[in-house]
Structure 1
Amino acid sequence: MSKTSALLDWHQTERRRLIEKNLDLTENCLTGSIYEDPPLKALGSETFDLQLREYGWDWPSVAHTMIGRKRLANVRRLTESVIGTGVEGDFIETGVWRGGACIMIRAVLDAYCIKDRTVWLADSFEGLPPPDEEKYPADKGDKFHTYADLSVSMEQVKRNFEKYGLLDEQVKFLKGWFKDTLATAPIQKLALLRLDGDMYESTMDALTALYEKVSVGGYVIVDDYNVVEGCKKAVHDFLDSRNITPEIIEIDGVGVYWQVA
């Protein structure tokens, strides 16, 4: 091997090491693991527990995501995957809370110097809607709209992006209920669609408006698949209505994903 080839290999290895170190640090900050951020009292516990944070089983008091380390690592890995394989399209999360998963996506794009893709954040930024039990019986008795901690303003999410130096023209917001914003959003193609709307209605609205925009080889992630029955039912009602039978892959016992064929 020539000295030039050896130097190029060293630069490639070093670049990869620095990218990994940067994104690892971002993950640890976003989940609050790095400073052992205690959870909100809403779920009963008040002490930081690494295992709970690993699986997203608590609601952090300060951290910028509640999806846990495993689901956040999944977001990172699939973002890197579509970049590496050249799958076309933007990225969107429907239901963003404090913005952590989207900050992770934007951090990956930044690390790989990707300038031609957008990260879309769709949310009411006012919490979840009361269930429409007549139209969506699967949401009957849903209580998510009663949790004030789930309401995070768009201005706060933007400030969270700014803390990582990642708020720029590649980050765009769709404010409002999904039924009013997603169908008319100026999105042509998606490489990754992440659903975190909890309810049947929110999940179905997002799938109906956006699924056909996901490129072949792209991914769909469903955050609440195993813990919110209405969400799981919406996924299968949608897939069955279109005779789609993807290989659904478990992430952590809570979330799942599949690749669009």
Structure 2
Amino acid sequence: MTPPETRTDFTRALYLDLLRRTLTGAVAEDNDSILGGARDGGAPSRRKAVAHGIGRVANRFGFELAYKKPYDPESRANGRDWPARADSMIGLKRMENIQHCVETVVREEVPGDLIETGVWRGGATIFMRGILKSYDDTSRTVWVADSFQGLPPPDPARFPADAGDKLHTMRGLAVGVDQVKHNFERYGLLDDQVKFLVGWFKDTLASAPIEKLAVMRLDGDMYESTVQAIEPLYPKLQHGGFCIVDDYGSHASQAGRAVDEYRAMHGITDEIVDIDGFGAYWRKSA
């Protein structure tokens, strides 16, 4: 007979693997390009802008216009594509990193909540809640922090690293809080252990009622969004906790620079570990 704890571990592993692959669109091999969808909103290309407009008109009449694109498992693993319908675009390797970090703090009883700053459709935070539920951990809150209206226009006078940034024009990055809550509900994971911080990071994070953090995941892309998240949150990260930066490598001159400067200013020497060339993380030492 298989011991009950072994069966529990096996069932948990199956659930989390399926949840991870569903959230990233890997199960559905989701790689359609939908006219009027997230990929085209705010695109600088005139051709894409026209296609987006046509798609939006079709949507009003209950139609969806899409064309099929080949699915590339390697791109999805590394988060190099942008799934049309999935709830996360970070790819499987960065999802596996979230699982490693959350499972570690649960098993080693590192105290504190979990947070992601910059959530898009909520996929990473949905996964965090799913991991906690699979371990029957009722002591932690998952904080879902976002403007829920996309990224801010750059402020080069205060943050020169963001000069010329165009992310605020990409309307596909703006997902409303009601939609994100609905996404949690679809997975049966919206409950009292999920809390939303709605607004710009400069207005919400410093005053958020968070006492301790075990895992903090920053996904702000820009220098401004990253520094305004790490400054109020990192002092709350407990020894043995994890700091994950989704775009440390992909936005090295912005998010990466903000992190490097913060670490240098505060004498943080814990090793930064690459995840997939885009994301990176480190564990806070004593």
Question: If the TM-score is normalised by the length of the shorter chain, which range does it land in?
Answer: over 0.9
**Structure 2 counterpart of 1:18:** 11
Q: Secondary structure at the match of 1:35?
A: coil
Q: Give the CA deviation at 1:77.
A: 1.2
Report 1:133-172 matches (<5 A).
133-172=156-195
Distance 2:69 2:245 in 1: 27
CA contact (8 A) 1:32 1:64 kept: yes
Q: Alignment partner for residue 241 of structure 2, among 218, 223, 231?
A: 218
Offset from partner CA, 1:43-70 (integer Å, 9 cap, x none) = 9994432211111111111100000000
TM-score by length of 1: 0.94
Report 1:2-41 matches (<5 A).
10-40=3-33, 41=39
- Match of 2:138, as an amino acid? K
Q: Secondary structure at the match of 1:174?
A: strand
Q: Alignment partner for residue 236 of structure 1, among 260, 263, 270?
A: 260
**Structure 2 counterpart of 1:48:** 71
**Structure 1 counterpart of 2:229:** 206
Distance 1:231 1:28 in 2: 27
Report 1:64-213 matches (<5 A).
64-213=87-236
**Structure 2 counterpart of 1:248:** 272
**Structure 1, unaligned stretches of length 5 or more?**
1-6
- Match of 1:244, as an amino acid? I
Aligned length, in residue pairs = 254
Distance 2:227 2:270 in 1: 17
What is the percentage of aligned positions where both structures have the same residue?
50
Q: Secondary structure at the match of 2:184?
A: helix
User: More displaced, 40-49 or 66-75?
Assistant: 40-49
TM-score by length of 2: 0.86
Output the aligned Cα RMSD.
Answer: 1.4
Offset from partner CA, 1:165-208 (integer Å, 9 cap, x none) = 00000000000000000000000000000000000001000111
Q: Which protein is richer in helix relative to its size?
A: 1
Regions of 4+ moved over 3 Å: 39-47
- Match of 1:115, as an amino acid? T
CA contact (8 A) 1:39 1:58 kept: no
CA contact (8 A) 1:39 1:59 kept: no
